Amino acid sequence: MAETFYGQIAENRRNSTLLALVVIALFGVLGFAIGYAITGYASGALGVMGLAVLLGSLAAAGSYFGGDSLVLSVSGAKEVDEAAAPQLLNVVREMSIAANVPMPKVYVIDDTAPNAFATGRDPKHASVAITTGLLEKLDREELQGVIGHEMSHVRNFDIRFALLVGVLVGSIALLADFFLRFTFWGGGRRSRDDRGGSSGLQAIFFVLAIVLSILAPIAARLVQLAVNRQREYLADASSVQLTRNPYGIERALAKISEDQEVLEVANRATQHMYFTNPIKKFEQRASGLFSTHPPTLERINRLRQLTGDRPLQGPDADQLAGLD
């Protein structure tokens, strides 16, 4: 069991790191291709790529220092203390001690849909937000499993990791949109005319840049979702490590996924942060969305591997599978 547990954690970390490197490489290739297509020189390509990296870094800095406050405000989260939510604060304190991280700020969202998320740039500046529905519908063991999962996100620096990938994905989309607009208005033709015609290599890079500008944002978004799913698997396994109880988080996953309440404050920008996908399959706003979380059945079966239990099968498995 121990070998399976630590092997699962190591595998999830390797996979998420590899996927993040894929996004970085995609950003670099797109920047170089656009730069060469516009200037016709390798030095110009490197200059455009450097400018894109600089702008992306500035966007990352803004999100790094102010992103958590914005997310909490948009979600309608209100900070609570020991007097207002004694059991919740007690469980959060237990999990922060188990994770060996500072006690985070604790917020409650007034919504009957059970869910939770963590935010912040590092363990010293972290917050966890829990809906009133989660507090009402889960027992203490299930609550521990959810909080253990969120504290694992804090301990594993998942928020910072997701921020880096998110900014890169956004930068890829902006860079691609800039080049496509630039090309549409004839900028590419003028840049080649200024040089007295286009070299064969520049023409190749120009076509390559157009193709990448169309496909790279889609590919980067898919990689981002894959990164998010790997970090969710990692947080599930880490929650078991903190609580020493795989059954609490397993029951919480099933109970939250089966709940039909709609979390109104969630949106496309914040849905990836929650314990389970807050936008239900039956909602109109779910149409056209990629999955931000692994399937609940897959998460539960991975947890069951840690205890040697058989995977869920039959009607229970069919019901959970139909929710994603």
Structure tokens, 40:
């016709």
Of 71, 88, 45, 15, which Cα lies nearest the Cα of 209? 45
| Own/partner long-range contacts of 43-50 (Cβ < 8 Å, ≥24 apart) | 45/205
The pTM is what? Answer: 0.78
pLDDT tens for 212-262 read: 888 888 888 887 787 788 889 989 999 999 999 999 999 999 999 999 898
In the predicted model, residues of the chain with pLDDT beneath 70 are: 1-9, 12-13, 16, 60, 63-64, 185-199, 282-290, 324
pLDDT in the model for residue 177: 87
pLDDT in the model for residue 252: 96
How open is the CA angle 22-204-171, to the nearest 5 degrees? 35
pLDDT in the model for residue 197: 45
Of 33, 152, 163, which Cα lies nearest the Cα of 95? 152
pLDDT in the model for residue 3: 45
Of 237, 297, 245, which Cα lies nearest the Cα of 3? 237
Beta bridge partners of 130: 108, 116
Give the residue numbers marked as catalytic.
Answer: 150
Q: Where are the alpha helices (DSSP H) in 40-129?
A: 42-74, 86-99
Q: 3-class DSSP state for residue 116? A: strand
pLDDT in the model for residue 105: 96
Rounded to an integer, what distance in angstroms lies between the CA atom of residue 61 and that of residue 164?
10
Q: With contact defined as beta carbons under 8 Å apart, do 145 and 249 qualify? A: yes
| Own/partner long-range contacts of 241-245 (Cβ < 8 Å, ≥24 apart) | 241/5, 241/9, 241/152, 242/95, 242/98, 242/99, 242/148, 242/151, 242/152, 243/95, 243/98, 243/141, 243/144, 243/145, 243/148, 245/141, 245/144, 245/145
pLDDT in the model for residue 2: 46
pLDDT tens for 70-90 read: 889 989 999 999 889 999 999
Question: How is the chain split into domains, by residue range?
Answer: 2-321
